[in-house]
Amino acid sequence: MAGQAAPADSDEEAELLQFKVVVVGDGEVGKTSLSTRFTEDHFAQSYRQTIGVDFFLKQLTLPGDVHVAIQLWDIGGQTLSSKMVGNYVYGAHAVLYAYDITNLQSFQDLEDWHALVVRVCGRDRLPYLALIANKADLTHLRTVKPERHNQFADSNNMYSYFVSAKTGDNVATTFYRVAADLAGIVLTKPEVEVAAKAVTAQIIVHPQDLPADRIGWVAKHHSR
């Protein structure tokens, strides 16, 4: 769902591209762990259920000195049946569908999450979509084969990523690629590798700190 560039009060603000990225999927697949690994480079050993939605904000610098702010909306796995979930998804520039490769049900339930996104955004106005296979460090316990993953991604026009929030493997690279795609920047392999090492947390925003006028999070959108 395309948005317009947010108005800026200064030339400095005008140089910052802002994107709303929504992370959906069942509970316990590691959505919050992915968000904290990306924004804080931290992994919590204990599980804390997300109630409703949590917010994270991270700024990146892309090639060409392009500055991007990624606002992550981490939607709780129990929120699928909530009346508010449509509001969380609305206006997203990207939706990341996360599942646990050791939990087949979490993969199958993505059909319901995708149906929700289609209903809210409209099939002809879908945002950037990506399928995120988490817990890639547990391949010996895998219940979802890569072939099935790829088939689902291809049939729904999604980008495809395999990551591990626990080890951090491919997490920074994935979000950096998503940011570049949204900004319309084509990355070379060396640029991705360098950027993945350079990504560090800058800003964390919690729901209670988010101004009401930012909930709508209007930003420039790059169409595929």
Pick the more confident residue, 84 or 127. Answer: 127
- Rounded to 5 degrees, what angle do the CA atoms 64, 61, 121 make? 100
Under DSSP, the state recorded for 30 is S
Structural contact between residues 134 and 100, judged by C-beta atoms closer than 8 angstroms: yes
Asked whether residue 7 is domain-assigned, the answer is no
- Rounded to 5 degrees, what angle do the CA atoms 186, 192, 196 make? 140
Q: At what angle do helices 171-183 and 189-198 cross, to 10 degrees?
A: 120
Asked whether residue 80 is domain-assigned, the answer is yes
Quick one: pLDDT at residue 224? 36
Asked whether residue 151 is domain-assigned, the answer is yes
Asked whether residue 8 is domain-assigned, the answer is no
Radius of gyration of the chain (CA): 16
- Residue 79's pLDDT band, with cuts at 50, 70 and 90, is low
- Residue 215's pLDDT band, with cuts at 50, 70 and 90, is very low
Asked whether residue 141 is domain-assigned, the answer is yes
Residue 167 has pLDDT above 70, yes or no: yes
Nearest-10 Cα torsion for 6, 10, 15, 20 = -30
Asked whether residue 146 is domain-assigned, the answer is yes
- Residue 155's pLDDT band, with cuts at 50, 70 and 90, is very high
pLDDT tens-digit profile of 51-64? 568 899 999 999 99
Asked whether residue 219 is domain-assigned, the answer is no
Residue type, 119: R
Residue type, 62: L
- Residue 197's pLDDT band, with cuts at 50, 70 and 90, is low
Please give the residue range of the domain that contains residue 113.
Answer: 17-214
Question: How far is Cα of residue 100 from the mean position of the Cα atoms in its chain?
Answer: 15
- Residue 213's pLDDT band, with cuts at 50, 70 and 90, is very low
Domain containing residue 195: CATH number: 3.40.50.300
Asked whether residue 220 is domain-assigned, the answer is no
Number of domains in the chain: 1
Question: How far is Cα of residue 121 from the mean position of the Cα atoms in its chain?
Answer: 16
Quick one: pLDDT at residue 217? 35
